[in-house]
Chain A
Amino acid sequence: EAQVTQNPRYLITVTGKKLTVTCSQNMNHEYMSWYRQDPGLGLRQIYYSMNVEVTDKGDVPEGYKVSRKEKRNFPLILESPSPNQTSLYFCASSPGWSQGGLEQYFGPGTRLTVT
């Protein structure tokens, strides 16, 4: 089944404790992206990647890191989480222009709470 998977789905952690949220897609998509969703703000893009080893900042990149060593994986790293990073996080992938599509396919979300 074609899908985007995220782990963990739920995470409660403390300020300053490094964490990684994994994202994997099995559709051979070039483009991957991370968003955070906060009430009344819709989804805001954190980072995106157009292909392996190519990443760029989105609208709200502060406090986050990403890497794209393989096409299928795009982990989100919080080196020193803070309470203002408490949010619902979504990973998405897309075929990208060169593969004929721009619509994005979303993972199920990761609810992160930082105390």
Chain B
Amino acid sequence: AQSVTQLDSHVSVSEGTPVLLRCNYSSSYSPSLFWYVQHPNKGLQLLLKYTSAATLVKGINGFEAEFKKSETSFHLTKPSAHMSDAAEYFCVVETGRRALTFGSGTRLQVQP
């Protein structure tokens, strides 16, 4: 069975500093992986997706993620945080029955 673990429930960074949100997955095959973002009182928006092409995936708003099969990781990064990045981020794995399993989420706080 596929599963995903987000290693930090909360991350706090200062504006202008790098962001790292960690995600490990478990899968019996090479899955499709996604990062979604949810701003307060909003729906979910797709940030980026990995579907077995390039291992470094670029998304919207300057975010990127690297698929590392040897480490079963798919960490999300951004070189410089902006106040508007404050939100909850979900790492998601495709389960093989065309459905998605969500991690429990990481709340990113950006300090001025």
Contacts and interface: CB of A to CB of B under 8 A. Distances in A.
A50 B90 contact: no
B98 A50 contact: yes
Contacts of B99: 33, 45, 48, 58
**How many residues of B sit at the interface, in one of the four size bands?**
20 to 34
Interface of B: 9, 32, 34, 36, 42-46, 49, 51, 90, 94, 97-105
A2 interface: no
Nearest to A47: B99
A41 interface: yes
A33 B101 CA distance: 12
Nearest 10 A-B pairs (CB), nearest first?
A42-B102, A43-B102, A106-B44, A106-B43, A42-B104, A108-B43, A103-B46, A42-B105, A48-B99, A103-B49
Q: Looking at chain A's contact residues, is the secondary structure mostly helix, strand, loop, or mixed?
A: strand
Contact of B51 (A42, A45, A102, A106): A102
